[in-house]
Structure 1
Amino acid sequence: MPELAIVYEHPLWFEPLFAALDRAGIDFVKIPIGDHGFDPAGSPPPARVIFNRVAMSSFLREPEHPLYHAMALFDHWRRQGATVLNGPEVMAIDSSKARQLSLLSTLGLATPRTRVVHRAADLEREAEAIGYPLLVKANVGGSGAGIMRFDSAAELSAVVAAGEAPSSVDRVLLVQEAIPARDGVIWRIETLGGQFLYAITVDGAGQFDLCPADACDDERGTPIAMTAFDPPPEIVAGAERVAAAIGMDVGGVEVMVDDRDGTPKFYDINALSNFVARPVEVLGWDPHDRLVEWLKARIAEAGK
């Protein structure tokens, strides 16, 4: 049996990880989730340690997306004794912006003012409680999908009347204040094993697709400016509390500083950290090397 299985959906995003695992001599197997099926009365785990790399944005690439299939699969393998990294409970949070905001708020972290509904007809009512400008977001998102900005009630009313409001694969929608981000950047705080790994600023807070990885740059055709930085200690502590609260083994937390009053607003949890593009250029080191060392330790623990 291999030491490690990588379960993934996007065909290109994890090439740097696969290369790092090869360099380290780790015996691993790649499992594309797209055509996967399993027997709930059988289908033993393919490895002692299973690393979930299924992207929330997979619904953009496959209408018959694997998100909920993957949650059931990881729960099945874990019940049979496998160690599943970023398992089904993490996916449950990663796949729901509403649950993310509830968690962040419960942890005492500032978040954008938000209302959650399940009918497009209720968007206008909740928008009045938020005020304009605002964003309407799909609860299940990824790569900026399912987000629209509205600067007036008339704009939102026209879109709702035309049946053109965003939709979410789970039928849940968010109405959220549009935060004016200081310096036009977001902060992305990455964690590994629940501990701070690195932080970057990502330019273009007015955009919605701010995935920082090489493959995302290739797909967009335009690189996004990213810079390494040292976040304030309270931001690092907040990100680590988030990781601990949901048992996130690897993942990022995104923050915007509200230019109106300087308050950092936590607004997104992303358990699919495929890491920054051009890491040595941006960070001075490659986080995949540290990820592989951490994976070695998890494999050793699972073998005891």
Structure 2
Amino acid sequence: MSTPRVYVIHENPEWFPPLAAAFEAEGVPVQEVLLTEGQIDLAAEPEPGVYWSRMSASSHTRGHEHSKEYTRALLGWLERAGRQVVGGSHVLELEVSKVAQHGLLQRAGFDVPRTTAVFGTATLQQAARAFTGGQDVPFITKHNQGGKGLGVRRFDSLAEFDVHVASPEFEEPVDGITLLQEYLTAREPFITRAEFVGGEFVYAVRVDTSAGSFELCPADACEVPQVIAGAVCDVPGTDGSAGATDTFTVRTEVTADHPLVQQLRTFLAEQRITIAGVEFMETVDGRTVVYDINTNTNYNPAVEATAPASGPRSIARYLGGLLDAEYAATAAAHR
């Protein structure tokens, strides 16, 4: 068997360079496991090491529609063999289902958007009428297996929605589940993403939404269209032009002592999620709504340059610590 190392399971090589640099800086041996093709010898023992899954819910948008199933198979094999897996099977199921996220957040006592999950398309228009009480009030749609803002659209009338559902522009969700969700108005034009590594708070990112888009992504590799998964905010007075401020900045007033951060920390520990970014927004009517859990979080270079700690290097240190703890004698001999 090879020297124990951290294995990073994913399907998008464009996201890996910042992580590779962080592992190198921390002196932690790392190897990619790219799940776009390959095989598993089910009679073999997995290589020694710590395995970190950062499979993305949006993998199918990059032509990797089967990577989710590949990951399910691989994680099951690793877990049955007793390997330490960060972001294991239970986390993957949360990553690829906003219904699951919504249910867990709601049960834990967080304020979540009012949401209906619709299976298939035959009853979508009927479900929208039930959701709005038959009134022309704003609501949004999104895909249950999301990421990249998939299927996120605002509708101001039921007639507008009917036309869209019947049009070629309608995006069929990869798992067949469309969410109908209340449309919220932000108190100020931003949403917040709280980053956690090793179960501990790293920093909060303020994501400017003054351009009026659902599509915002922190990763340097993301190009237009940009996305933050599942943002549900309206911005009063928005004219659609880009603001002068940076889109992604550290929100310094949100610290580890913030009550919501403490509540999220407890929630993630209970769910055995150690690496995640959780998004929330503060509304004009005084709500703090938690709406998305990203278990394959990416980090913005501008934020990293000014943040009190580095997200990727925090991950490298955390996973390196797990590796040392599990393979202390072997690691000491090779590092």
Alignment TM-score, normalising by the size of structure 2? 0.83
1:196 equivalent to 2:201? Answer yes
1:135 aligns with 2:140: yes
Matched residues in 1 for 2:223 and 2:307: separation? Answer: 17
Q: Say yes or no: does 1:150 pair with 2:148.
A: no
Specify the code of the residue in structure 1 equivalent to 2:197: L
> Residue 177 in 1 paired to residue 192 in 2?
no
Letter paired with 2:217: C
Are the counterparts in 2 of residues 120 and 165 from structure 1 also a CA contact under 8 Å?
A: no
String of CA shifts for 1:133-167, please: whole Å, max 9, x gaps: 11111100111122221110001111223364332
Aligned to 2:332: none
Give the 5 Å matches for 1:1-304: 1=2, 2-39=4-41, 41-62=42-63, 64-131=65-132, 132-162=137-167, 164-204=169-209, 206-217=212-223, 220=226, 225-229=247-251, 230-231=253-254, 233-259=258-284, 261-303=285-327
- Structure 1 residues 224, 47: closer, same or farther in 2, change over 3 A? farther
CA contact 2:197–2:311 (8 Å) conserved in 1: no
User: CA separation in 1, counterparts of 2:27 and 2:224?
Assistant: 28
Q: CA deviation at 1:63?
A: 5.1
Gap regions ≥5 residues in structure 1: none
Equivalent pair of 2:6/2:50 in contact (CA under 8 Å):
yes
Which amino acid is the alignment partner of residue 114 of structure 2? R
Once residues 268 and 187 of structure 1 are traced to their aligned partners in structure 2, the CA distance between those partners, rounded to angstroms, is: 11
Give the partner amino acid of 2:321.
A
- Partner AA of 2:123 in structure 1: D
Deviations 1:105-152 (A, max 9, x none): 000000111111102232223323433211111100111122221110
Distance between the aligned counterparts of 1:153 and 1:227, measured in 2? 37
Moved more, 122-131 or 179-188: 122-131
Residue ranges of structure 2 left out of the alignment (5+ in a row): 227-241, 329-335
Q: Equivalents in 2 of 1:137, 1:217: separation in Å?
A: 20
- Kept in 1, the 8 Å contact 2:56–2:96? The answer is no
Deviation for aligned residue 1:25: 2.4
Would you say the 8 A contact 1:5–1:47 is kept in 2? no
> Does the 8 Å CA contact 2:58/2:148 hold for their aligned counterparts?
yes
The Cα of 1:72 is off from its aligned counterpart by 2.0
Aligned pair in 2 of structure 1 residues 170, 224: CA closer, same or farther (>3 Å)? farther
How far residue 56 of structure 1 moved from its aligned partner, in angstroms, is 1.5
3-state DSSP class of the match of 1:256?
strand
Query: Equivalent residue of 2:273, what SS?
Result: coil
**Per-residue CA distance 1:42-95 (angstroms, 9 max, x = gap):** 343234201112222111001533012202211211111211111111010110
* Whole-angstrom distance in 1 between the partners of 2:76 and 2:246: 36
Contact 2:248 2:302 in 1 (8 A): no
Q: Deviations over 1:152-194 (max 9, x none)?
A: 0001111223364332211111100111122121110111122
> Which of structure 1's runs of 4+ aligned residues deviate more than 6 A?
none
What residue identity is the alignment partner of 1:214? Answer: D
The alignment partner of 1:202 has SS state of strand
8 A Cα contact 1:188 1:199, kept in partner: yes
SS at match of 1:55: coil
Which AA in structure 2 matches 1:227? T
Higher Cα Rg: structure 1 or 2?
2
